[in-house]
């Protein structure tokens, strides 16, 4: 019995001795915080008279726990990687759609804007032409009124002259037939066409009266012809005025029609422009918020990935330490 114990002790001692060369550096292990923690746990166990098998079991347990944690983390990493990929792709598609929508709206704007500008320019040019012709009509009206007034004045003058001639003629007829008295002669109205003294002088002589009546009758005819031509001129003037006014008015109404269609066209173009600018604004806003969400997701995923890598490194270092300590106690 004693011999066995001795032998066993020798084997144990010699075994320990033999292994010493390959043993991990205990001091180095105890300098590592994790290594030192495990070593002190073990020494606590050993000092409380726990059998060495329990130490081996404990180390096995810790190692299994670390491996298990790593498996769970790997699983989580895979799940999260899939989730990140899906979520980022989910945002990528509408972002791409928004970008192409912005491009399309920009293209519409670039296409419509010069068209809109030139339409407005044309419209303003038509407006100016309309104003010019409206001014022409106004001066035509003004001139025609002045002409009509002049004609009317002339007509009145002729009429007055004619009526003076008529009364002179009438007077002379009376003088010729009735031999009217001097007083009547001098009081007779409308005599301004022939000076009174001439008339008085003439009225003394029958032949002169007859001659004068002939002359006056000729003059009367001239005046009547003149009156008629004044009326003709008046009618002709009115006709010319009306024709000119009608033709200018028709030019104006054509121009107004063109202006109206340019107005309509520019309004449509302006609607298109407004719509494309609104689309760009809204798409940019929407796109911006999606891009921010995507960036946030990328940041979160990078953080997860870094955490995973750091924890994996830490765990594999811990496992390495456990393996070294296991070598210490596995003998
Ligand atoms: C962990 O996820 C990253 C992506 O985040 C991937 O590249 C890597 O292969 C994953 N690792 C494992 C072990 O699944
Ligand atoms: C159209 O007119 C606006 C305002 O006058 C100007 O800012 C713009 O540059 C013009 N666009 C083109 C294409 O001419």
In the chain, domain spans: 4-90+317-328, 103-300
Is-contact 330 24, C-beta < 8 A? no
The DSSP line for 44-84 is HHHHTT--HHHHHHHHHHHHHHHHHHHHHHHHHHHHHHHHH
Any idea which ligand is nearest the CA of 79? 1
What pLDDT score does 188 carry? 56
Tens digits of residue pLDDT in 211-258: 888 888 999 999 999 999 999 999 999 999 999 999 999 999 999 999
Q: How far apart are CA 161 and CA 97, in angstroms?
A: 94
| CA atoms within 13 A of residue 159's CA, in its CB half-sphere | 8
Is-contact 223 158, C-beta < 8 A? yes
Please give the distance, rounded to the nearest whole angstrom, from the Cα atom of residue 136 to the centre of ligand 2: 33
What pLDDT score does 10 carry? 34
Whether 305 lines ligand 1, by a CB cut-off of 6 Å, is yes
Minimum-distance ligand 2 atom for the alpha carbon of 117: 1
Q: Whose CA is nearest to atom 14 of ligand 2?
A: 114
Whether 114 lines ligand 2, by a CB cut-off of 6 Å, is yes
Please give the distance, rounded to the nearest whole angstrom, from the Cα atom of residue 287 to the centre of ligand 1: 29
Dihedral, CA of residue 149, residue 152, residue 158 and residue 164, to nearest 10: -100
Whether 110 lines ligand 2, by a CB cut-off of 6 Å, is no
Whether 117 lines ligand 2, by a CB cut-off of 6 Å, is yes
Whether 118 lines ligand 2, by a CB cut-off of 6 Å, is no
Minimum-distance ligand 2 atom for the alpha carbon of 113: 13
Any idea which ligand is nearest the CA of 83? 1
Q: How far apart are CA 213 and CA 307, in angstroms?
A: 137
What is the chain's pLDDT, residue by residue, as a tens digit (331 residues)? 333 333 333 333 333 444 444 566 788 888 899 999 999 999 988 898 888 888 899 999 999 999 999 999 999 999 999 999 999 999 999 999 999 999 999 999 999 999 999 999 999 999 999 999 999 999 999 999 999 999 999 999 999 989 988 888 888 888 777 655 454 455 555 455 666 667 667 667 777 788 888 888 999 999 999 999 999 999 999 999 999 999 999 999 999 999 999 999 999 999 999 999 999 999 999 999 999 999 999 999 999 999 999 999 999 999 999 999 988 887 5
């Amino acid at each position: 019995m004693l011999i066995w114990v001795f032998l066993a002790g020798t084997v144990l001692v010699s075994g320990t001795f033999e292994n010493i060369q390959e043993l991990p550096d205990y001091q180095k292990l105890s300098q590592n915080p994790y290594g030192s923690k495990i070593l002190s746990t073990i020494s606590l166990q050993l000092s409380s008279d726990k059998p060495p098998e329990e130490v081996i079991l404990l180390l096995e347990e810790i190692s299994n726990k670390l491996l298990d944690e790593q498996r769970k983390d790997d699983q989580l990493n895979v799940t999260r990687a899939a989730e990140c990929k899906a979520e980022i792709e989910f945002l990528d598609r509408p972002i791409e759609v928004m970008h192409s929508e912005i491009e399309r709206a920009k293209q519409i704007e670039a296409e419509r804007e010069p068209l809109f500008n030139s339409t407005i320019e044309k419209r303003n040019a038509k407006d100016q032409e309309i104003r010019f012709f409206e001014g022409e009509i106004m001066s035509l009206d003004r001139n025609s009124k002045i002409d009509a007034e002049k004609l009317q004045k002339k007509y009145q003058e002729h009429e007055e002259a004619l009526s003076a001639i008529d009364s002179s003629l009438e007077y002379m007829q009376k003088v010729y037939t009735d031999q009217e008295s001097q007083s009547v002669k001098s009081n007779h109205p409308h005599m301004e066409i022939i000076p009174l003294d001439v008339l008085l002088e003439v009225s003394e002589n029958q032949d002169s009266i007859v001659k004068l009546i002939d002359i006056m009758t000729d003059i009367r005819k001239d005046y009547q012809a003149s009156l008629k031509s004044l009326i003709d001129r008046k009618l002709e003037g009115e006709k010319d005025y009306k024709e000119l006014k009608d033709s200018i008015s028709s030019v104006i109404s054509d121009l107004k029609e063109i202006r109206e269609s340019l107005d309509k066209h520019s309004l449509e173009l302006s609607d298109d422009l407004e719509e494309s600018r609104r689309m760009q604004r809204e798409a940019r806003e929407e796109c911006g918020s999606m891009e921010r969400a995507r960036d946030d997701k990328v940041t979160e995923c990078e953080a997860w990935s870094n955490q995973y890598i750091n924890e994996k490194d830490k765990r594999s270092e811990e496992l390495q330490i456990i393996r070294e300590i296991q070598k210490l106690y596995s003998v």
